[in-house]
């Protein structure tokens, strides 16, 4: 042992510089370890409590003269002026602190759901959303499920396939070869032994995703809002024959052994978005003022069995059955920045979860101009909201998304469209976004854990104070209720376009109606089967609804929609 130590001593005597360098590195490493321990100590529970108390001390109270008789509305979030770079609204800061370890927004949005169901096999799961019904043959020449399909050879899961099929309104979801997902309304193949569906899902080894030419099929329990479909076509309803049918629907042909498939296929080949069945004749076209699809008739008027199908109706000479094909109506797809800098800044203001992203999608399609944002969200930019990267004061966008409240932020805008949504729906939508992304879902663990009560406690008062702030400090405010826009999209969106000072194109608005959902609609599959609101929560939220309703009426506006009001 002495000889190696003697050799080291002799080495450093000959090379003293190397010796001192080694000592310096040792001391530096020790200092770094000491500093790291100090930072870890600062982030302990005591430090968090200090910051929380500081935030609490900065919270103020708010009451305008208009709501003096309605009681004081406590402000949930109040922050000092932020630095130049915009990282997001104040509520997003808390989200980032609470969400340490969460995957980014671009992830597979079923991850939270999978964690909540970890250890349970999808075949054994029957929770009112999807039920496994068996293993079926799938022929590549004649598919068992003939709707849309998609593949993912790295991340396919049972629930991801179910969500995608449910989002499109299909009744069945089938998985094949571990990575392929097929959707359909009816199963057109025989079932086989369960042992033939033996391939693990690429995204979750605990579940089976069919096999070679074998489908693991689930029946989906859809919400009422999911669209009715036939294959890839969306059922629009029964409509009276237009006065000038040749002008309204310029292309038509008589089809022997008429079926929905044949008419939809013909119109798809002709690149028309509407397939219209009238007995043995098929019409193709686009929605126009001559055939707007606004006057829906009773489906009984269209009852006339298709010659080639037992269960489908093909309409008649007076009443047409209409389907929307997968052809994209390009009359409203062009978008660009404003040609000249806008002289006024128009806010598109809302509480989070009130449909701001959806409203932006509608406005961009209806006007042909990009919308901007007070923040920057990379996932929205990647989905086509190109105005997301522009500074909100650039003047190149038609309006600017914001969730801000408070006098200084509101008075920065010359006018505003204020989106309001039922707080019961808005809170749940924002909770899903917070824990599941823009089109994902919070897990059952989050709903039943401490996160949900804490969220409602903090965010519910903000829903009211946000609206009251904009009504009090905003200049030239147009109120739009989410539910009214959803119920009567054409006229409400037309009013929003006119408020923005632009000429309304009816053809463009009709095009928007056919593509109203965009890329940010949650599927109808994962709705909660229980009421997450406690009686205490409801009592507090109902009082907030009454406060906002009174404030709207005091400004000679219509109050909140009837479905908001406490029963």
Helix/strand/coil (H/E/C) assignment for every residue in 53-118: HHHHHHCCEECCHHHHHHCCEECCCCCCCCCCCCCCCHHHHHHHHHCCCCCCCCCCCCHHHHHHCC
Alpha carbon distance 61, 78 (integer Å): 10
pLDDT recorded at residue 170? 77
* 3-class secondary structure, 129: coil
**Spatial contact of 482 and 563, defined as CB atoms under 8 Å apart:** no
Q: Specify the higher pLDDT residue, 421 or 46.
A: 421
Phi, psi (degrees; rounded to nearest 5) at 36: -60, -45
* Residue 283 Ramachandran class (φ > 0 left, ψ -120 to 50 alpha, else beta): beta
pLDDT recorded at residue 303? 87
464 has a pLDDT exceeding 90: yes
Mean pLDDT of 26-34: 62
The rounded mean pLDDT for the chain is 79
The sign of the CA dihedral 505, 510, 511, 516 is: positive
45 has a pLDDT exceeding 90: no
Q: Report the share of the chain in percent with pLDDT over 70.
A: 73
44 has a pLDDT exceeding 80: no
**Spatial contact of 166 and 527, defined as CB atoms under 8 Å apart:** no
The sign of the CA dihedral 361, 367, 370, 371 is: negative
Alpha carbon distance 350, 341 (integer Å): 24
Contacting residues for 429 by C-beta, under 8 A, at least 6 apart: 353, 354, 355, 421
Q: How confident is the model at residue 71 (pLDDT cuts 50, 70, 90)?
A: very low
Query: Across the strands, what pairs with 134?
Result: 217
Alpha carbon distance 112, 403 (integer Å): 26
Give the number of other Cβ atoms within 10 Å of residue 93's Cβ: 14
Predicted confidence (pLDDT) per residue in 259-275, tens digit: 998 999 999 999 999 99
Q: Specify the higher pLDDT residue, 290 or 61.
A: 290
Strands lying side by side in the sheet with 372-373: 372-373, 400-402, 346-350, 415-420, 477-481
pLDDT recorded at residue 310? 67
Contacting residues for 559 by C-beta, under 8 A, at least 6 apart: 549, 550, 552, 553
pLDDT recorded at residue 379? 83
- Chain-centre distance for alpha carbon 45: 35
Phi, psi (degrees; rounded to nearest 5) at 488: -135, 70
pLDDT recorded at residue 109? 31
DSSP 526-551: ---SS----HHHHHHHHHHHHHHHHH
Q: Is the pTM of this model over 0.85?
A: no
Q: Which two tokens stand for residue 476?
A: 């030239």
276 has a pLDDT exceeding 80: yes
pLDDT recorded at residue 312? 82
The alpha-helical segments, DSSP class H, found in 437-564 are 444-448, 451-473, 482-487, 489-499, 506-514, 535-554
Q: How confident is the model at residue 140 (pLDDT cuts 50, 70, 90)?
A: confident
pLDDT recorded at residue 501? 94
Contacting residues for 546 by C-beta, under 8 A, at least 6 apart: 70, 566
Alpha carbon distance 475, 388 (integer Å): 24
Predicted confidence (pLDDT) per residue in 309-361, tens digit: 767 889 999 999 999 998 888 899 899 999 999 999 999 999 999 999 999 99
Predicted confidence (pLDDT) per residue in 193-246, tens digit: 999 999 999 988 889 999 999 999 998 876 544 567 777 788 899 999 999 999
Tell me the Cα Rg of the chain.
Answer: 29
48 has a pLDDT exceeding 50: no
Mean pLDDT of 436-464: 87
Q: How confident is the model at residue 1 (pLDDT cuts 50, 70, 90)?
A: low
Predicted confidence (pLDDT) per residue in 171-200, tens digit: 889 999 999 999 887 788 999 999 999 999
Q: How confident is the model at residue 481 (pLDDT cuts 50, 70, 90)?
A: very high
pLDDT recorded at residue 14? 60
Least confident of 8-22, 55-69, 151-165, 249-263: 55-69
Least confident of 43-52, 336-345, 387-396, 497-506: 43-52
pLDDT recorded at residue 549? 94
Mean pLDDT of 247-266: 93
Alpha carbon distance 183, 502 (integer Å): 41
pLDDT recorded at residue 162? 87
pLDDT recorded at residue 328? 85
The sign of the CA dihedral 312, 159, 203, 434 is: positive
Least confident of 57-71, 437-451, 520-534: 57-71
547 has a pLDDT exceeding 90: yes
Q: Specify the higher pLDDT residue, 253 or 220.
A: 253
Helices then strands, counting H and E runs in the chain, come out as 18, 22
Alpha carbon distance 331, 517 (integer Å): 16
Alpha carbon distance 515, 155 (integer Å): 28
pLDDT recorded at residue 49? 38
7 has a pLDDT exceeding 60: yes
């Amino acid at each position: 042992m002495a000889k190696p130590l003697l050799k080291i001593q002799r080495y450093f005597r000959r090379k003293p510089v190397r010796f001192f360098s080694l000592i310096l590195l040792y001391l530096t490493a020790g200092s770094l370890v000491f500093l790291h321990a100090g930072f870890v100590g600062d982030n302990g529970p005591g430090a968090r409590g200090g910051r929380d108390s500081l935030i609490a001390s900065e919270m103020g109270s708010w009451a305008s003269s208009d709501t003096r008789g309605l009681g004081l509305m406590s402000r949930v979030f109040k922050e000092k002026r932020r630095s130049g770079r915009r990282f997001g609204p104040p509520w997003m800061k808390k989200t980032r602190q609470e969400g340490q370890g969460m995957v980014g927004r671009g992830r597979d949005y079923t991850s939270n759901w999978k964690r909540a169901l970890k250890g349970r096999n999808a075949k054994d799961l029957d929770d009112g959303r999807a039920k496994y019904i068996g293993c079926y043959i799938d022929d590549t020449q004649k598919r068992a499920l003939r709707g849309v399909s998609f593949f993912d050879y790295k991340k396919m899961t049972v629930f991801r396939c179910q969500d995608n099929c449910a989002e499109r309104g299909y009744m069945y979801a089938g998985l094949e070869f571990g990575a392929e997902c097929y959707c359909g309304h009816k199963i057109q193949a025989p079932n086989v032994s369960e042992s033939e569906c033996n391939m693990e899902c690429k995204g979750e080894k605990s579940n089976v995703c069919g096999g070679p030419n074998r489908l693991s099929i689930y029946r989906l329990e859809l919400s009422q809002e999911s669209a009715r479909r036939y294959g890839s076509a969306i059922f629009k309803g029964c409509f009276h024959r237009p006065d000038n049918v040749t002008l309204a629907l310029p292309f038509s042909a008589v089809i022997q052994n008429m079926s929905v498939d044949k008419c939809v296929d013909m119109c798809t080949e002709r690149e028309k978005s509407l397939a219209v069945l009238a007995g043995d004749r098929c019409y193709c076209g686009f929605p126009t003022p001559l055939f707007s699809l606004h006057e829906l008739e009773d489906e009984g008027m269209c009852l006339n069995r298709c010659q080639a199908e037992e269960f489908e109706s093909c309409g008649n000479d007076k009443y047409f059955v209409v389907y929307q094909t997968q052809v994209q109506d390009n009359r409203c797809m062009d978008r660009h920045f404003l040609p000249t800098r806008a002289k006024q800044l128009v806010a598109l203001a809302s509480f989070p979860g009130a449909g701001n992203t959806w409203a932006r999608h509608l406005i961009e399609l209806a006007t042909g101009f990009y919308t901007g944002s007070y923040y920057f969200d990379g996932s929205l930019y990647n989905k086509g909201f190109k105005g997301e990267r522009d500074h909100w004061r650039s003047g190149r966008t038609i309006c600017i998304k914001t969730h801000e409240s408070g006098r200084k932020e509101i008075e920065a805008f010359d006018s505003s469209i204020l989106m309001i949504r039922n707080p019961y729906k808005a809170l749940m939508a924002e909770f899903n976004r917070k824990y599941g992304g823009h089109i994902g879902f919070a897990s059952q663990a989050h709903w039943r854990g401490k996160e949900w009560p804490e969220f409602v406690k903090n965010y519910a008062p903000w829903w009211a104070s946000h609206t009251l702030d904009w009504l009090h400090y905003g200049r030239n405010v147009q109120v739009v209720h989410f539910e009214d826009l959803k119920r009567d999209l054409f006229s409400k969106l037309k009013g929003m376009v006119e408020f923005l000072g632009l000429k309304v194109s009816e053809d463009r608005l009709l095009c928007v109606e056919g593509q109203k959902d965009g890329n940010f609609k949650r599927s109808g599959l994962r709705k909660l089967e229980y009421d997450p609101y406690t009686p205490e929560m409801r009592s507090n939220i109902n009082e907030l609804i009454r406060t906002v309703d009174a404030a709207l009426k005091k400004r000679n506006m219509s109050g909140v929609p009837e479905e908001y009001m406490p029963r």
